[in-house]
Homo-oligomer: A and B are copies of this chain.
Amino acid sequence: MKQVAALAGVGTKTVSRVINDEPNVSDATAARVWDAIRALDYQPDLQAGSLRRSDGRTRTLGLLVGSVDNPFAGAIHRVVEDLAAERGMAVFASSLDDDPAREGSAVRAFLQRRVDGLILTTASRRPDYLPQLRERGIPAVFVDREPLVDGLDTVASDNRAGAEAGVAHLIEQGHRRIALLADRLDLATASQRQQGYLDALAAAGISRSDALMATDLHDVDSARTALERMLGAAEPPTAVFSAQNLITIGALHALRDAGCSRSVALVGFDDLPLADLLDPGVTVVAQDPQEIGRRAAERLFALLEGADEAPIRSVVPTRLIARGSGEITPAA
């Protein structure tokens, strides 16, 4: 910056004024400064600036998702990035892997880099870094999972209602032995979806059976194995509700390998790319990751602009998409 000032024959503060287009610079000097900036390929150091700037902003935000590799997270990331870019903000993204330790170090990494705000998916019901965020006045919006703490801003799918609708759909087709394949129940999403499953059964007067509920499934293979075991049991399910996208993939493998794709019904929570091209098409309870990302980002920006109303708890509706697999009726 000093070089630019020297080349343009002005003081550094004038250069600063030009860059941030503050008032009180004559057009002539501004032009000279811009020339010097171009001549030197000067790029202002945003971090150094924020060190002294009154609001201390770094124009940077942190995004924590399940895994940047997961299509659901990718969709959220993309929306957040686009909205952030419109405001000249850049985004740090990190993967959580549903590991509280990894979550903690990711948040720490964000804080050390002085992000202005955070959009977080959490693996814990009561994240331990919340007091720190409060103290430092760093706004955060939780997405996908709602911690069990009051006063937080959250945006998530209607997991319970969506799961209930998916299972009710299977019940309408005449199924009574419906399997549940779910993730670790300490994750809010998994337990809410299980609750929806149980609510749908209860509403139809179907008693729950532990033999039909597999939980703690965290990847494709564990889901596949769990369903294979159920299909080989004495009273196999006639329908399956899989409560997460990777689990649905595992279930699809198990059904295909057992030759049951056309005889055992399947409804999955969360949509999959190509789900409509399978045969039968995969019926899903679709989430709307774009909408989740959009609401979260907009809420975060509102907080950054000093919105002071009460925290919001935003629930994004799900949508049942019938494609065939969920409309299979139980064998007579």
Q: Which single residue of chain B is at the shortest CB-CB distance from A275?
A: B274
Closest to A49 in B: B112
Chain B nearest CB: distance from A105 CB in Å? Answer: 8
Counting CB contacts under 8 A, is A278 at the interface? yes
Residues in A246-285 with C-beta less than 8 Å from chain B:
249, 252-253, 256, 272-275, 277-279
Whether A154 sits at the interface, judged by CB under 8 Å, is no
Residues of B within 8 A of A1 (CB): none
**Are B81 and A93 closer than 8 Å at their CB atoms?**
yes
Q: B residues within 8 A CB of A73?
A: 74
Cross-chain contact of A77 among B69, B82, B272 (Cβ < 8 A) = B69
- A111 within 8 Å of B (CB atoms): yes
Tell me which of B47, B51, B275, B278 contacts A113 (CB under 8 A): B47
Contact yes or no, B74 A95, CB < 8 A? no
B68 lies within 8 A of A77 (CB) = yes
Query: Interface stretch among A37-45, A157-165, A191-199?
Result: A37-45
Answer whether residue A71 sits at the interface, using C-beta atoms and an 8 A cutoff. Answer: yes
Chain B residues contacting A54 (CB-CB under 8 Å) are none
Which B residues lie within 8 Å of A77 (CB)? 68-69, 93
Contact A45 to B114, CB < 8 A, known contacts A92-B91, A278-B274: yes
Q: Which residue of B lies closest to A107 (CB)?
A: B43
A74 CA to B65 CA, complexed, in Å: 12
- Assembly CA distance A295 to B41 (angstroms): 30
Residue in contact with A69 in the complex, picked from B74, B92, B94, B274, CB distance below 8 Å: B74
Tell me if A60 is interfacial: C-beta within 8 Å of chain B. yes
**Contact code string A26-70 (vs B, CB < 8 Å = 1, else 0):** 000000000000000101111110110000001010000001111
Residues of B within 8 A of A67 (CB): 78
Q: How far is the CA of A260 from the CA of B246 in the complex (A)?
A: 29
Can you pick out 10 interface pairs between chain A and chain B where the beta carbons lie within 8 Å of each other? A43-B111, A45-B112, A46-B112, A46-B113, A67-B78, A68-B74, A69-B78, A71-B71, A78-B95, A256-B277
Measuring CB to CB, which residues of chain A are less than 8 angstroms from any residue of chain B?
A: 41, 43-48, 50-51, 58, 60, 67-71, 73-75, 77-78, 81-82, 85, 88, 90-95, 105, 108-114, 131-132, 135, 249, 252-253, 256, 272-275, 277-279
The 5 closest A-B CB pairs, nearest first, are A47-B47, A69-B78, A274-B274, A46-B112, A69-B74
> 12 new A-B pairs (CB below 8 Å) besides A41-B135, A47-B113, A51-B51?
A41-B132, A44-B112, A47-B48, A68-B68, A69-B78, A90-B94, A90-B110, A91-B93, A249-B274, A272-B273, A274-B275, A278-B278
